[in-house]
Structures are given as structure tokens and as C-alpha cells.
Amino acid sequence: MATVTLKKGEGRTLNAGGAWVFDNEIDKIEGSFENGDIVKVEAFNGYFLGSGFINTNSKITIRIMSRNKNQEVDDDFIEQRVRDCISYRKHTIDMSSCRLIFGEADFLPGIVVDKYSDILVVQSLALGIDRLKLKIIDMLKKVLAEEGMNIRGVYERSDAKVRLKEGMDLATGFIGDPFDTKVQIVENGVKYFVDVEKGQKTGFFLDQKMNRAAIHPLCKDAKVLDCFTHTGSFALNAGIAGAKNVLGVDASELGINEAEENAKLNGLEDRVRFMVADVFDLLPQLEQKGEKFDVVVLDPPAFTKSRESLKKAIKGYKEINLRGMKLVEDGGYLVTCSCSHFMTPELFANTIGLAAKDAKKRLRQVEYRTQSSDHPILWAADESYYLKFYIFQVCEEK
């Protein structure tokens, strides 16, 4: 096994519990290896820090698999990691549809596996773990079967561009026998069709599961506006919870078509309607018309995926929150989210505060949440903490 020695003063994140070693932290590499192999990582003084996959094509050169000096990364090790993933979710989430493996936060860096009913969708993002993905899938099937959950098909969605930075090609398609890629799931009592082949990410945004449930008490007999509705998830939760009128808006015609199909699936098409529109254009138009809603939901895509575009993203978040607050009836509720890792909790809170000041609204925080528990946040691995979710009561200045 080759040995990677870090520069003096480097490895602080790793020592604190992080899972990555960057290329600029490395002093030297001794011994032969191929990219994707397991290597030892040592501090400048020879102190053992961990073992993990190496890939010199990537700025994230090493992804740590174990911190035990005597641990071999073999089949038994991988199976135990998989069992730990299932055990954790048995205790924390409804497993009918959930994320089974969340990369670094589940100590299996670079791989994501989602379960939609009896279908698995795998996304492999790093070279070393890519070599193990078939083994991980087989072990997941085995352990799930022991729990009475039989898997009938697996689809790969390794089409994220980050693979190119690893020197890997994009890959999609069936792993094993083909099946109908439009899968029906049930979450919070709402039925959805999930397109695991063509849908965004792995087909559906499972990370908002508990947050969608959190809006139910607000929505009975309410008039609700759901912005960036995608395939209608918050809008349909509002409908199931007893809203009298729901409007879901998204710029994607494909997403809106799926949302309308999901509304029919739940028998909600009379109370939950959708329209294709740019939210940034629509909100001022609704304000000019004097429209008001009891609940406004803002669940935008990540406005920034890098620090370089953060300033523009802040402007976008402030704009939609300001416009959204102005559309809320006095004493009504604003539900607002950010899924950008670079929009820190402090920065997001500050941006909402500035929007409230400019809108001349008083905010009373009902609750603050993060991603669902099947997307665990690993302390010291900041990349695993990305979703911020607030519910506020919006009050007029009096």
C-alpha cells in the first residue's frame, strides 16, 4: 500500500473528522499505486491519519474510508458499512422511499443510493468507490431482503459532471434487468410518479420529506402558493393537508406536466393547479394584482454552486423572499429554503432578515429545519450540511 505524507501544518480538517485530502495538502507519495487504489495517509511526522481511495486526477485526491490503522477495506468491511446504513435508517426514517447511502456522511465516500419503493438508483461520483458500486448494490439487496424489502431493479444515474473532474465518463442505464423507469411512491400520504431515468438528480428530492410534512398544520382551508414546485411536492402536500386552493409554479414545462399528473394521481386536480412561469417575473405581477396567500412556499434550486457566484445568489434569495413576504396575508406563513452548500445558515438567515426589513414585515420564526434524517449531517464534513428550511409567520408592521 502506497503512503501519502501531508505537508507540515496540513490535515487539520482530516484530524477534525473530515473525509477529504486535497491535492495542495500533500507533500509526497511513496510506493506504487493506480488511481482508485487504497493508500495510507500520514501526517508529516509519520502519524497515521487514515486510509482511503486516491485519485490524482481530482483536487479531492484522497477520500478517507477508515481511520483504523489495522482495518483492511475488504468485503467484510464494505458489508458492515452497508449494514450500518440500513440500521441507521430503520431507526430514523420511513424506508418505503429514502436515501440509503449518503456518501461521506455514511462513511462510503463518493456514492449515493436512493430507494424508490422497490427500485434502487445509484449515483457514483468518485473513482475508488466506482470500482465497488456493484458489490455495494449486491450487499444492499441482500441486507434489505433480510428486512423484508425485496429490490426488483437498479438504475444508474452517474451523470453528474463532477465525474469528469475525477477523469471518469458519465454513465447511466440499467444495472441488471430493465424495468419501467416510471416508479410510483408514497410519501407523507402523497402519491408520486418518479422518473428515475429522466428526473432531476436521481429522480426526486427525498431530502425535503420531513419538511414537506411540516407544512401540513399550516395548510388546512388555506390559499397556498408553491414557487419552484418542480413536480408538485409541496403543493400536493398542501392539498392533502386540506388547502382550499393551491397554485404551483415552475419554469419547467416537463416538471409542471409531471406535477399535473401527480395531482390527478391523488385526486387533487380540482384544488391544486399548476402553471409554467418564471417565479422572478410572476411574483411582482401577483403583487400588482393585489393577490394574497395564507401560505407562500419558496423552494428554489441552488442559486449558487460556487463561492464565485455567491453575491449574485444572495441577490436572488433576497428578491424572492422579499416578493414572497409581500404576498403573504397578515399573520400568514412563509416557508423558505436554500439547498446551496455555499449559502451558509448564517448568510441565509441574514439575507431573509434584510428582505423582511425592506418589505416592512415582522417575522416570527415557527421552526428551522435541515435535510431529512436519511441525509445525515456529518460534523466536520461541511459538504453534508446544505439544506436550510424556515417557517415564519409574517406580520405587518403595527
Strands 48-54 and 20-22: unpaired
Query: CA nearest 300: which of 242, 234, 344?
Result: 234
Annotation marks residue 339 as catalytic: yes
Tell me how far CA of residue 236 lies from CA of 222, 263, 334, 366, in angstroms. 13, 7, 17, 21
d(CA 98, CA 118): 11
How far is it, in rounded angstroms, from Cα 110 to Cα 357? 41
| Number of CB atoms found within 10 A of residue 33's CB | 16
Strands annotated E in the chain: 3-6, 20-22, 26-30, 38-42, 48-54, 60-66, 97-102, 111-116, 119-124, 153-158, 171-174, 182-187, 190-195, 223-227, 245-250, 272-276, 293-298, 328-338, 361-369, 388-396
Three-state secondary structure of 119-178: EEEEEECCHHHHCCHHHHHHHHHHHHHHCCCCCCEEEEEECCCHHHHCCCCCEEEECCCC
Separation between Cα atoms, residue 207 and residue 192, nearest integer Å:
15
Q: For residues 203 and 226, give the distance between their C-alpha atoms in angstroms, rounded to a whole number.
A: 20
Q: Nearest-CA neighbor of 109 among 134, 126, 122, 132?
A: 126
Q: Which of the following is catalytic: 98, 219, 227, 339?
A: 339
Angle separating helix axes 310-326 and 345-359, nearest 10 degrees: 40
Packed helices 75-92 and 133-146: angle between N→C axes, nearest 10 degrees: 50
Amino acid at position 342, single letter: F
Q: Is 369 buried (19+), middle (13-18) or exposed (0-12) by CB count in 10 A?
A: middle
- Residue 70, judged by CB atoms within 10 A of its CB (0-12, 13-18, 19+), counts as exposed
Active site residues: 339
